[in-house]
Amino acid sequence: MNRYAEILIDMISNAVDRPFHYRIFPEFSNSIKPGMQVTVPFGSRSCQGYVLRVLDHTPVEKLRDITAVVDPEPLLTAEQLALIHWLAMRYYCRKIDALHALLPASFRRGGSPFKVEVLELVHQACEANLNRAPVQQKAVRLLKEKGPLQRRELIRLGISAAVICSLEKKNLIRKNRVLSIPQRRTTEKKPTTPRLLSEAQAECFNRVCRAIDNPQPQRILLHGITASGKTEIYLQGIARCLELGKTALILVPEISLTPQMIEHFEGRFPGRVAVLHSRIRGAEKNRQWQMILSGEARVVLGARSAIFAPLNDIGLIVIDEEHETTYKQEEAPRYHARDVAWWRARRHRAVLLLGSATPSLESYYQASIGNTQLLSMKERVTPTQLPPVTVVDMRRELKEGHRHIFSRVLLRELEGVLERDEQALLFINRRGFAGFVLCRECGFVVRCPSCDVSMTLHLDSGTMRCHYCGHEQEVPQTCPQCGGHKIRYFSAGTQRVEEEMKKLYPDVSLIRMDSDTTGSRNAHNYFYRHFREGKASILIGTQMIAKGLDFPNVTLVGVVAADTALNLPDFRAPERTFQLITQVAGRTARGPRGGKVIVQTYHPSHYSIRAAAAHDYNAFFEEEIEKRRMLGYPPFADMIRFLFSGEEEETVMAAAAWFTEQLSLLGLPGELLGPAPASLYRIKGFYRIQTILRGDNLVPYAPRIRKIMQEYHSRKPVWPVRLAVDFNPQVVL
């Protein structure tokens, strides 16, 4: 009987984003398994593909044969195959994009790179039959004694290539590929000793252990203020998993994956930690993977994509700083590591431990309705206090004749820091480039009446637009709230802050850290060390520098313009502001000298700023969750963003309009917003137009939405317009 295989073609193209059926050559009939990499004819050429399923029947009539098997062992596990399917459905991506996210490129070029080809005996091979060929006899004896050997090893033992060849012809030996054993790096290092847990830590740790021992998958949110000692709980939780013979996976934001952090984990589990992040490439990446596959590494520490690490028998998955936007991938597959983690935790019946001082609204909401266990730590574990936060009203500064970007309070505090030879951090929001219109006299910002996001200024038309729903209006000449005339475009960047600082203190050494200055591989670590060693007094940067910094000599943190975060044209702007202030505040008062935080804003009464200044997460959550509920934003609805981009404005608009029309015919639950120009309307010559679908539980509609996508991609002539679909985007600009 013939058998068939459903094959995923390894080609990045929407046209081949469906399984193709091939006939399995009878000779392979029993050896082809799901997950194997194979070669198949495709059109006039030959392609790599992956076996998704083996079938006994196929409705397809004209079938071609699988040409070759790249590796006799499946490259993809059953878990990976299931995950590829889930990623493609959930995040509206091509299956091949999902597969590529799961496997390093080196694996796709001809099977696992850790496999070596060996020669082994076929069962019935027997020296007796080779009486008249003593060298062949010797070869068979060697293979019997030593087990499978590589060709060159046999040759070194005195067996010529010709002899090997004739044994193969007689079907006495055959080729096989086996996992090569990595050389064990014996570490003499003694593991660092676990710390004695504080009472609050012990309480949380016990609950984590109980969850690990429980065979049901569980999700726990560890809400612990900065420096409450969450890391120690992760470390001891991991140790518990290892004792039980299980493995553990820990994710941290890319930027906090510093050498210090890595040393911390390797120190506790010497020789057993594999590290994966985007700067680890090539041979080093292969080595880390081999450690995981061979079982040598039972702990994986990494950034977002490490969530795909091929660990077996996972007992614990930790996501530190779970609220971070970097856990969402911004290109296909546009997955959120937290959701993938929960998918894997369920499959492995493991514990998902989410840690943060400022949990995402989504996670805290899940805890508030009992879907996630909530653990909290409200005190610092070190004998230090959270710093006092002073909110400076920039409107008053202006009224009192002080127009500088640094308020008088901030300047006074900075001088104190410099006099005492301490250090200061100054923050600017990274996404400050999306401009908004602000009244400098009363702080008023123009917002969309229906979406409640700030409206974006479009310089070409001279109007303001809501980039969710498309609502458009004139730029006001006077402030609608106070009638003032100082209503204008607002922006502030790190460079500007640096220039102003240099004017004020020409002799003080400064470091500026943002994506421009830390682009190179080791720049971040260099600046980090430089500042830590006290070689600069002031560090100016975007919030990315806030992560994981631990400088005891920092006694002042200034947020130069909280408004850039607060007025992002994004419904998560208040959440980001609260997180930003809380996180940066956590960077000071870590030493015996204490510390202070100064937040400058035109909107001092805003609940995010007030709650952050009071270190009160719950107050913030209560306000924000009510607003989300009223406006129908996540976690009360799902959002799907369809972003169209292309070089010709009209075609982009036409494509977006066609697509939106098709969506509207589906009768989906919820609202269809747009098409509207994206907040960043032109990037590198591409016009960007988006449609947002917002509704309660859109997941069941995925197949119908995908169908429209397929139709969109197969329309002739094909639109010269890219379509990017993002399920529950973290950033909508």
**Interacting residues toward ligand ADP by CB under 6 A:** 195-198, 201, 224, 226-232, 381-382
CA separation for the pair 127, 136 (Å, rounded): 8
Return the H-helix or E-strand segment holding 427: strand 423-428
Distance CA 691, CA 323 (A): 25
Instruction: Classify each residue of 553-588 as buried b or exposed e, where b means 16 or more C-beta atoms within 10 Å of its C-beta.
Output: bbbbbbbbbbbbbbbbbbbbbbbbbbbbbbbbbbbb
| Shortest distance (Å) from residue 356 CB to ligand ADP | 9
Q: Choose one: 376-384, 460-468, 500-508, 548-556; the region binding Zn ion (CB under 5 A).
A: 460-468
- The nearest distance, CB 547 to ligand ADP, in angstroms, is 11
| Direct distance between the N- and C-terminal alpha carbons of the chain, in angstroms, rounded to an integer | 56
Structural tokens at position 221 = 């949110």
The verdict on 471 binding Zn ion (CB under 5 A) reads yes
Count of residues in the chain = 733
Q: Which residues of 404-433 are buried (b: 16+ CB within 10 A; e: fewer)?
A: ebbbebbbebbeebbeeebbbbbbbbbbbe
Q: Please, what is the minimum distance in Å from the beta carbon of residue 346 to Zn ion?
A: 37
- Residue 573 lies near Zn ion (rule: CB under 5 A): no
Minimum distance of Zn ion from residue 605's CB (angstroms): 24
Q: How far apart are CA 643 and CA 689, in angstroms?
A: 6
Distance, CA of 672 to chain centre: 27
Shortest distance, CB of residue 222 to ligand ADP, whole angstroms?
9
Residue nearer to ligand ADP on the CB measure, 88 or 425 = 425
What strands lie across the sheet with 596-601, from one edge to the other? 389-393, 596-601, 554-559, 423-428, 538-542, 510-513
Smallest gap from residue 722 Cβ to Zn ion (A)? 24
| Residue 448 touches Zn ion, criterion: CB under 5 A | yes
Q: Taking CB under 5 A as the rule, does residue 451 contact Zn ion?
A: yes
**How big is the chain by its Cα radius of gyration, in Å?**
30
Binds 466: which of ligand ADP, Zn ion, none (CB < 5-8 Å by kind) = Zn ion
Contact call for residues 95 and 85 (beta carbons, < 8 A): yes
In the bound state with ligand ADP, the residue whose beta carbon lies nearer, of 265 and 436, is 265
Q: Which does 448 bind (CB under 5 to 8 A by kind): ligand ADP, Zn ion, none?
A: Zn ion
Which CB sits closer to ligand ADP, 232 or 324? Answer: 232
Beta strands in 25-79 (DSSP E): 37-42, 45-55, 68-69
Residue 232: name its binding partner from Zn ion, ligand ADP, none (Cβ under 5 to 8 Å by kind): ligand ADP
Nearest to Zn ion of 134, 449 (CB atom): 449
- Considering CB distances under 5 to 8 angstroms, the limit depending on partner class, which of ligand ADP, Zn ion, none binds residue 227? ligand ADP
Choose the contact partner of 1 out of Zn ion, ligand ADP, none; CB within 5 to 8 A by kind.
Answer: none
How far is Cα 713 from Cα 726, in angstroms, rounded to an integer?
A: 16
C-beta of 230 vs 467, nearer to ligand ADP: 230
* Position among 20, 327, 427, 468 found at the interface with Zn ion (CB under 5 A): 468
Instruction: CB nearer to Zn ion: give 453 or 599.
Output: 453
Q: How many CB atoms lie within 10 A of CB 155?
A: 14
User: Residue 372 CB, nearest distance to Zn ion (Å)?
Assistant: 32
| Residue (490 or 578) nearer to ligand ADP, CB | 578
Cβ 387 to Zn ion shortest distance, Å:
38
Among the listed residues 35, 40, 295, the one whose alpha carbon sits nearest the alpha carbon of residue 181 = 295
User: Cβ distance 197 to 191 under 8 Å?
Assistant: no
CB-based contact 376:245 (threshold 8 Å): no
In whole angstroms, how close is the CB of 225 to ligand ADP at the nearest point?
Answer: 7
User: Quick one: 50 or 617, whose CB is closer to ligand ADP?
Assistant: 617
From the list Zn ion, ligand ADP, none, partner contacted by residue 162 (C-beta under 5 to 8 A by kind): none
Closest CA to 617 of 324, 360, 353: 360
Residue 198 contact partner, candidates Zn ion, ligand ADP, none, CB within 5 to 8 A by sort of partner: ligand ADP
Q: Which residue has the tokens 């847990």?
A: 197
Instruction: From the list ligand ADP, Zn ion, none, pick the one residue 562 interacts with, judged by a Cβ distance below 5 to 8 Å according to partner type.
Output: none
Binds 224: which of Zn ion, ligand ADP, none (CB < 5-8 Å by kind): ligand ADP
Least distance from C-beta 529 to ligand ADP, angstroms?
18
Q: How far is the CB of 233 from ligand ADP (least distance, A)?
A: 8
Binding partner of residue 451 among ligand ADP, Zn ion, none, CB under 5 to 8 Å per kind?
Answer: Zn ion
| Count of chain residues binding Zn ion (CB under 5 A) | 7
Provide the binding-site residues for Zn ion, judged by CB under 5 A.
Answer: 448, 450-451, 466, 468-469, 471
